[in-house]
Amino acid sequence: MRTPVVAANWKMNKDLSEAKSLVSALLADYKKANTEVYIAPPFVFLNEVQQHIKESGIQLAAQNMNAAASGAHTGEISSSMLKSVGASTVILGHSERRDIYGETDAQINEKVKTALAADMQVIFCFGEQLEERKASTHFEVVKSQLASGLAGVDADAYASIVLAYEPVWAIGTGETASPEQAQEMHAFIREYLRKEVSVEVADQTRILYGGSVKPANAADLFSRPDIDGGLIGGASLQADDFLAIVNAAS
């Protein structure tokens, strides 16, 4: 049995007082169940959010990090900095990092290796663009993102990797992949792991869906056999919506 995962990606939203209010509202109604829950606030709120959630069972995650250990990288954040404030999980390869900031598969792969070497857990994101789906190249695109982004990762290290399939056309657009479309891709990803890594890794790796997950569609998505939870953007900014999605995964 795979433990479900629901992760909140706040992206570049909230100021400090709004971040505190959102965490308080979440904690007021959160009941720990068998789902692993993560909050990924902007870097500047990591420490503050951790102070509030550390006894709750909700875990802290970062939205990005640098591949280098330290040094002359103005404006960047390292794995040891993240760990020192309690974030031992990091989201890498998000489509906004790829599309807006030009992160390549090779750069993402460097970050993945750095995070794993630092004993961090990685939520590795990937997914096709709308044109790629329309051209029916989505399976190839996903396969190539997995092969390059996770190149050189040993089978043992997959215990520290959560995959997040996020079709780019469904992120922040209100357009969700149908549960059938999502399940079809998740089954393809699991089959890829079975062939390219191992049967154990295929059985044990959590594969999340992301892209306009809402309370109204979460239960249907999460009931599919290969969908083990979600990476939630917009709906994670409202405590009630996020908790409804967490409950749908449990």
Q: Which residues bind ligand PGA (CB under 6 A)?
A: 9, 166, 171-172, 210-213, 231-235
Task: Give the pair of three-digit tokens for residue 106.
Answer: 């090779």
* Intra-chain end-to-end CA distance of the chain, in Å: 13
For 220-223, which contacts have Cβ atoms below 8 Å and span 24 or more sequence positions?
A: 220/179, 221/176, 221/179, 221/182, 222/4, 222/248, 222/249, 223/179
Cβ neighbours of residue 74 under 8 Å, at least 6 residues apart? none
How far does CA 58 lie from the centroid of its chain? 15
Catalytic residue among 94, 103, 128, 186: 94
Q: Can you give 10-63 as a three-state secondary structure string?
A: CCCCCCHHHHHHHHHHHHHHCCCCCCEEEEECCHHHHHHHHHHHCCCCCEEEEC
Pick 171 or 185: Cβ nearer ligand PGA = 171
Is the Cα dihedral 110, 171, 225, 3 positive or negative? positive
Cβ at position 234, least distance to ligand PGA in Å: 3
Catalytic residue check, 166:
yes
Pick 125 or 150: Cβ nearer ligand PGA = 125
- Give dist(CA 235, CA 6) in Å, integer: 12
Catalytic residue among 96, 132, 166, 186: 166
Cβ at position 154, least distance to ligand PGA in Å: 27
Pick 57 or 172: Cβ nearer ligand PGA = 172
Q: Give the residue nearest to ligand PGA (CB).
A: 233
Pick 138 or 197: Cβ nearer ligand PGA = 138
Residues annotated as catalytic (active site), given as ranges? 94, 166
